[in-house]
Amino acid sequence: MTAADRKLLESFRKALAAQKLSLVYQPKVSLKDGHLGRVEALVRWDDPELGPISPSRFVPLAEEHGLIDPLTEWGLRTTLRQWRIWRDQGLETRLAFNISAVSLQRLDFPDLVERMCRALDVPTDRLVLELTEGATQPLVRLMDTLTRFRIKGMGLAIDDFGTGYSSLMQLRQLPFTEVKIDRCFVKDLPAAHDSRLIVKTITELAHGLGLIATAEGVETVEQLRSVRELGCDVVQGYLIAPPLHPDELIAWNSDFARRWPTLLSDESLEL
């Protein structure tokens, strides 16, 4: 472990203990009608000394050094509380929450998540867990844990699909409800023929297996139109909304309802 990593880890440990982390929420909308289907919680850490640090940097560090469980529990509790605030303000949405593969090794994890939902009075079917693919443990074991989640009513999304290994095997055998197509396949749409083919194929595969196909990382109107034509159901990305502060969501939602038709308005010209 480098000196820089050690310092980062110690600062992170303190930030977590002092609840100095925060969550932002990125909308996911239906490609059929632009409706807000769910919001994905994303953790943020802005250290007074080190500045903002990406979760891609500190989540793996937390995983390696035994801090992922407290991070997950804090994040989930905060997200579930936020759901109730939005509900009380009249916004009914579902939550997407990223779960580390390390947490899935705990056999009691599905029970823990269910208890937290109960305690905070959030129906379990309002929660979708996003898992990044990766062969971290025997498939039978993962199958067991994921099935427990499904029985309890939570949805399961496979995140960043297409970038890991053994993904087709996982998709076939595990009880997922949604596939999130990695943004590297969306980036070069609509021009790149290979990307179009990949997005179309993953979408057809998802539909064939009865799953929702979500395109992530949509940044341009051209990409939006392309993923829609290719059959995706749900879209997420900076074009729709960046990750938002929780207080911004309701205003964003009513504004987006006005923006949505204009995003697709001259589509007919392309036909």
User: From the list 238, 257, 265, 270, which residue makes contact with ligand C2E (rule: CB under 6 A)?
Assistant: 238
Q: Interface with Mg ion includes 98 (CB under 5 A)?
A: yes
User: How wide is the angle at C-alpha 78 spanned by C-alphas 159 and 115, nearest 5°?
Assistant: 85
Q: Interface with ligand C2E includes 98 (CB under 6 A)?
A: yes
For residues 117-146, which are near Mg ion according to CB under 5 A?
130
As beta bridge partners, residue 62 has: none
Q: Contacts with Mg ion: how many residues (CB under 5 A)? A: 5
User: From the list 25, 133, 158, 159, which residue makes contact with ligand C2E (rule: CB under 6 A)?
Assistant: 159
DSSP string over 143-163: HHHHHHHHHHT-EEEEEEETS
Min dist. Cβ of residue 238 to ligand C2E (A): 4
Min dist. Cβ of residue 260 to ligand C2E (A): 17
For the four alpha carbons of 233, 234, 238 and 239, in that order, the dihedral sign comes to positive
For residues 132 and 105, the answer to whether their CB atoms sit within 8 Å is: no
Q: For residue 235, which of 253, 252, 255, 212 has the smallest C-alpha distance?
A: 212
Min dist. Cβ of residue 40 to ligand C2E (A): 7
Q: Interface with Mg ion includes 178 (CB under 5 A)?
A: no
Distance separating alpha carbons of residues 6 and 142, to the nearest angstrom: 31
Q: Interface with ligand C2E includes 133 (CB under 6 A)?
A: no
35 touches, from ligand C2E, Mg ion, none (C-beta below 5 to 8 Å by class): none
Dihedral of the CA atoms 173, 177, 183, 189 (nearest 10)?
Answer: 100
The residue ranges that bind ligand C2E (CB under 6 A) are 26, 41-43, 54-56, 59, 75, 98-100, 130, 132, 159-160, 183, 217-219, 237-238, 243
